[in-house]
Chains A and B, each alone.
Chain A
């Protein structure tokens, strides 16, 4: 079963200015974003996230996010949880430094050698977590705070796959009396079901946000689509077994 297209991992770094470890998070996150995993990651700007950045919050709600914090105050992890949902994974630099027996990072503007070493180690740890969250590596999961969602085979055969040849499932639904083809809908329903989302108004709204990622929907038609998704997801859920 193919995965949803363009799945990426959001990286949210605390960038805390008051400790060298904050600078470590910033540089480590940028290293992952620009050098180690540029095709697999998206930066979540923490101040914009806190101030209500719609795109950042929506992304963090529906895609796995790695929080990179300098210290136990865990601003990045807490902010992510507050506004979008628990991060899929979390790294705390002060813990990593202690674990690996590294020297103490110093210098908030210009990190010392120990600080640079911490940047490298943090970046590698984050890159490993990105790989794991994208299903690129098997094995031990370090510091995962939430279980990743696995896509299982559906009970019924999927209606069709996208004509573009990508193999991504599509589904036809009725929206306000007309038939519409929605890309990736079966996969989206499966992911929601596995995440334990119950059919209802709130879930329908969340479904709409994800569906919009893969399908253009006019603003004026969103209510109609939400009604359709609520109905279709309820029907889908009835056909699934209750997850253990």
Chain B
């Protein structure tokens, strides 16, 4: 990857009230740590909203991909309100509807199906990251 090319920013909601929040968090880690560490970086939503300079700098001029646990879409809403550009927003609930066999359970610890759902979601996100990276003139992993 050429120096100076900005990474796609991944912002999960990490909501603590529902299993979907944990799925969003796990999927974000899969993308940024395992699948596309050179092309994507995770930014914590609360840092962004509360004005952390590094977080704000990361989203300025870089496309963001948000991962919301549910239709309240907190991550998408707050990234937009913080001046970020959401290139694509994912809702875990929508992904679950398309993969009904992976019913997630557990908040502190996801069940096996929850991990599978996170993996499937991560793959969908990676496709977007690759596309955005190509648009930025980069290479896929």
Contact across chains for B42 and A73 when beta carbons are under 8 A apart: no
A51, B11: Cα distance in complex, Å: 14
A108, B25: Cα distance in complex, Å: 10
Q: Mark out the residues of chain B between 54 and 75 whose CB falls within 8 Å of any chain A CB in the assembled complex.
A: 72-75
Contact-residue size bin, chain A (C-beta under 8 Å from the other chain)? 20 to 34
In the assembled complex, B131 has its CB within 8 A of some CB on chain A: no
A61-100 interface code vs B (CB 8 A; 1 in, 0 out):
0000000000001011011001000000000000000000
B1-31 interface code vs A (CB 8 A; 1 in, 0 out):
0000000000011111100010001101100
For A51, what are the chain B residues with a Cβ–Cβ distance below 8 Å? Answer: 72-74, 77-78
For A16, what are the chain B residues with a Cβ–Cβ distance below 8 Å? Answer: 44, 46-47
Interface residue SS majority, chain A: helix
Q: Would you give the shortest CB distance from B47 to chain A, in whole angstroms?
A: 6
Total of A-B residue pairs, C-beta within 8 Å: 84
In the assembled complex, B141 has its CB within 8 A of some CB on chain A: no
Contact across chains for B46 and A45 when beta carbons are under 8 A apart: no
A15, B28: Cα distance in complex, Å: 13
Contact across chains for B108 and A47 when beta carbons are under 8 A apart: no
For B29, what are the chain A residues with a Cβ–Cβ distance below 8 Å? Answer: 17, 108-109
Q: Would you give the shortest CB distance from A234 to chain B, in whole angstroms?
A: 37
Contact A30 to B72, CB < 8 A, known contacts A45-B17, A51-B78:
no
Q: Among the listed A14, A27, A30, A45, which residue makes an inter-chain contact with B15, where contact means beta carbons less than 8 Å apart?
A: A45
A6, B52: Cα distance in complex, Å: 37
Nearest A residue (CB) for B28: A17
What are 17 A-B contacts with C-beta separation under 8 Å?
A: A16-B46, A17-B12, A22-B44, A26-B14, A26-B108, A30-B107, A31-B108, A34-B108, A45-B15, A45-B21, A47-B46, A50-B78, A51-B78, A75-B50, A76-B46, A79-B49, A109-B33
Q: Which residues of A contact B (CB under 8 A)?
A: 13-18, 22, 26-27, 29-31, 34, 43, 45-48, 50-51, 53, 73, 75-76, 78-79, 82, 108-109
Q: Which residues of B contact A (CB under 8 A)?
A: 12-17, 21, 25-26, 28-29, 33, 42-47, 49-50, 52, 72-75, 77-78, 107-108
